[in-house]
Structure 1
Amino acid sequence: MKRRATTALATAAAITLLATTPAHASYHTKRPAGWDCGFDDKCTKGTKSGPKDQKIVYWFRSGFESTVIRAGSSKYGMKHIKAGGTHKRKFNHPTDKKAIGLWDKAFNNFAKGSKGSRFKNTTTHTVKYGGGAKKRTMCLVTSSLTIGKGNSYVGLKGIITAYWVKGHVGWKGCNNKAFN
Structure 2
Amino acid sequence: MFGLVRREMLQALVFLHERNIIHRDIKSDNVLVGQNGEIKMTDFGFCAQLTPEKSQRQTMVGTPYWMAPELIGRKDYGPEVDIWSLGIMALEMKDGEPPYLHEDQVRALYLIVTRGKPPIKNHDKLSPEFRDFLDRCLEVEKTKRASAAVMIQHPFLNKARPLVDLQRLVEETKQATKRLSD
* TM tier, smaller: under 0.3
Q: TM-score, normalised by structure 2?
A: 0.27
Instruction: Work out which structure has the larger RCO, using CA pairs closer than 8 Å and 6 or more positions apart in sequence.
Output: 2
Q: TM-score, normalised by structure 1?
A: 0.27
- More helix per residue: 2
- More strand per residue: 1
